[in-house]
Structure 1
């Protein structure tokens, strides 16, 4: 049994690696080599990466790809994507090219409001609490002026603070529910700092509010934190074209394709088991761009899935219909993104990604990300309702399988040619590779 380590965070990086490889690996020398081979040769750049998080021992690389041919509101984009899953970038690119020839993506930001809450417990008279909140609200705003001054100069800041009674859900539970506009910043630190000041002022002022009894004056602040559920930080993306401009398949007419596509969306609207995978496909495109641009993809994921459940049942984020002779496909999704602060000013590839996109502001980035998500969803549904998802996905996955078997360059060339007309699976690749190697040794 490995003994707990004391003072691990104070060890040097080399000492941390020494402790880990000695205690957890049968071959410490090989483990050290593998960990260190991903260090950056530029010591300053490596130090920058080391300081992003705690207890760093190496870098974990993800492929940084690009999806060209996105036409969004009449402007052409090549979109950066950081993701490990094969076929995502190819599918997004293919969908983008398809819609570029049919008018492209139309996007608009519906709202940009973000939310934070002070959660507290209070067991006294609600009418007294309302009177207290009314009296203290101006002071809550005044005491955060030193934090909001610069944001307000740019047109952002605190939009409002409300008192919310949640006692039907939990005894004695109330909230200060605050709304914010953070402009091009993600705003997490700004919002949390404001909330903590609200809590401090709210608690101290309660002690001297004359209408409170001694018991009522002792409000218990539980926590002060932003919410990643931002249903009023919303963007819409859509594509449309005449049904006659859709592609035919060997088995489906253009109208039949549109009808089958819409039926697939309808299923995701009513069946949660399908909706989760349907929306995961949307997030394949969204997360990849969010990560490439230095934003918090975990927050975006959580908020998107909460939004998909807003009506009491988990459902599809995207929708489709036939309107007369026109096929329409669209999505509305909450995306709280930023283009300043955080990693956007630090990570070299994030800087590259944002420059590639034309240095977008937060609203522009919301629209770009939404278009990438809709493109990915279109590509997945197009495959599902025509050839099936595995034909294209497994061909893109072929190289990963070949690398698992340490295929040579010559073997890869032969295998790619062979599987152009044969179904790809792990076992079929293994069998074909064995056959090629046997023939080479004869």
Structure 2
């Protein structure tokens, strides 16, 4: 059982590991070996990783993969994806290849506005507060000049500040609701710095206003919002219904009807919508991680958007109109291609170079397309062969690795399951049979 510890952050990395071994692993040398084997042999690179966060003891690896053949707005991309789940990259790649021959993906950024808020309480007159805000608004903006100069030179900065009355929800609760344009930066630090200056100016100006009593105004907090419903990107695919056919055994009209029905179910049934959208996020998160962006912020914002009408529903939509099948997604995405890990993490740099050093707007489009492709592949499987056929074949290698299968055994198992259904029990039984046969030879 863990024991309280003081000064842990001041210990060296080896001392931290030794403490863990003593208090959690009975000084098991094998555990230490596992932790150490994931250290990078390049000391400078390891030090770089150590300084990303606090109390590091090792590195945690995730596969860095690529999905080729994405045609987006007439331009070819190979998309980097960082994820551990079987079949995600294969599904995205398959969808990319399918739509490559059907004019590819179309994507557009609708808006890039981001939001930050100063939350405060005010117990005085609402009219007095409104007049005070109108008088101090220009000063709120001017006092951030040292923070916004460089952003303004590039065409970004503070777009507007509103006073919002929230007293019906919480007594005396108000907001300074600010909108920002941060261009190629995700902009969290920029926005938060501006907000804290707003709060400082607002409070000091209030202290000098004769109509506001010292105890009337309390700043609660200043923080950006990861809900960005005005920072929107749309991606879509379309083709004639007849062109949905991949082989002579398929009826494209039946497929389109079933596919659209599956999407409609996710639009009205939250139990299905959550899993439906999780599949979309398989594609989106993989690109967000590979490009050094904040997938937790993206997840929170997108799921909030899926429930913006008070009912959690599908992020994708589909229809057939005048013989044309159309499938599309519209989501909020606040991404950056400068700042954060984009210049620090070597693989993030590789990922962005692979994509042609995209702007934040272009990365938004690429990421939305990855989510749409993932959803298309999942729904195509679900409404035709079923999801498990492909997924379990990809999962086969994970099971074999758990069982310590040799290279020769893996080859035989893969060949066997080309014509058999994969299940854990069937893999165990078949591998045992192969090993028994080898022993008897």
When normalised by structure 1's length, the TM-score is: 0.98
Mapped pair 1:79 → 2:79: yes
CA distance in 2, matches of 1:27, 1:89: 39
Determine the C-alpha separation between the residues in 2 that align with 1:249 and 1:28: 57
Residue 163 of structure 2 contacts residue 174 of structure 2 at CA under 8 Å; is this kept in 1?
yes
- Out of 316, 322, 325, which is 1:324 matched to? 322
Paired position in structure 2 for 1:386: 384
By how many angstroms is 1:159 displaced?
0.2
Structure 2: how far apart are the matches of 1:307 and 1:193?
Answer: 26
> Aligned equivalents of 1:360 and 1:107: distance in 2?
14
CA distance in 1, matches of 2:246, 2:86: 26
Q: Distance in 2 between matches of 1:428 and 1:168?
A: 60
Where 1:237 maps in the other structure, the secondary structure is strand
- The separation in 1 between residues aligned to 2:110 and 2:388, in whole angstroms, is 36
Quote the offset at 1:224 in angstroms: 0.3
In structure 2, what is the Cα distance between the partners aligned to 1:256 and 1:130? 59
- Relative to structure 1, the CA distance from residue 295 to residue 109 in structure 2 (aligned partners, 3 Å threshold; closer, same or farther) is same
2:148 is aligned with 1:169: no
* Deviation of 1:249 (Å): 6.5
1:66–1:80 contact (8 Å) kept in structure 2: yes
| Counterpart for residue 303 of structure 1 | 301
Paired position in structure 2 for 1:111: 111
* Secondary structure in structure 1 of the residue aligned to 2:326: strand
Query: Quick one: distance in 2 between partners of 1:6 and 1:310?
Result: 45
Tell me if the contact between 1:184 and 1:361 (Cα under 8 Å) persists in the aligned partners. yes
CA contact (8 A) 2:3 2:23 kept: no
Alignment of 1:405-424 (within 5 A): 405-424=403-422
Unaligned stretches of 5+ residues in structure 1: none
1:436 aligned counterpart, secondary structure: helix
User: Runs of 5+ in structure 2 lacking a partner?
Assistant: none
> Which of 214, 220, 233 pairs up with 1:222?
220
Partner of 1:41: 41
| 8 Å CA contact retained: 1:116, 1:226 | yes
Matching residue within 262, 265, 273 for 1:264: 262
**How far does the alpha carbon of each residue in 1:330-379 deviate from its partner, in whole angstroms, 9 at most, with x for none?**
00000000000000010000000000000000000000000000000000
For residues 206 and 119 of structure 2, the distance between their equivalents in structure 1, rounded to whole angstroms, comes to 15
Shift of 1:324: 1.1
Aligned to 1:353: 351
Which residue of the partner structure matches residue 427 of structure 2?
Answer: 429
Name the CA distance, whole Å, in 1 between partners of 2:181 and 2:226.
14
Match of 1:63 in 2: 63
Matched, 1:374 2:369: no
Q: By how many angstroms is 1:214 displaced?
A: 4.4
Partner of 2:25: 25
1:212 deviation in Å?
A: 1.9
Match of 1:14 in 2: 14
For residue 117 of structure 1, give the secondary structure of its aligned residue in structure 2. Answer: strand
SS at match of 1:175: strand
Quote the residue 1:401 is aligned against. 399
- The aligned counterpart of 1:334 is 332
In 2, Cα distance between the equivalents of 1:267 and 1:3? 50
CA shift, 1:26, in A, is 3.5
Match of 2:363 among 351, 355, 365: 365
Secondary structure at 1:198's aligned position in 2? helix
Using the alignment, how far apart are the partners of 1:10 and 1:214 within structure 2?
Answer: 42
Query: Which residue of the partner structure matches residue 286 of structure 1?
Result: 284
Partners of 1:229 and 1:396 in 2: CA distance: 35
Deviation at 1:211, TM superposition (A): 2.0
User: By how many angstroms is 1:213 displaced?
Assistant: 3.5
Paired residues, number: 440
Q: SS where residue 345 of structure 1 aligns?
A: coil
Determine the C-alpha separation between the residues in 2 that align with 1:328 and 1:430.
Answer: 43
Q: In the aligned structure 2, how far is the partner of 1:3 from the partner of 1:330?
A: 52
Residues 318 and 330, structure 1, Cα contact 8 Å, conserved in 2 = yes
1:245 corresponds to which residue?
Answer: 243
Q: 2:232 aligns with which of 231, 234, 238?
A: 234
2:154 paired residue number: 154
Change (3 A) 1:2 1:337: closer
Contact 1:184 1:362 in 2 (8 A): yes
User: Which residue number corresponds to residue 143 of structure 1?
Assistant: 143
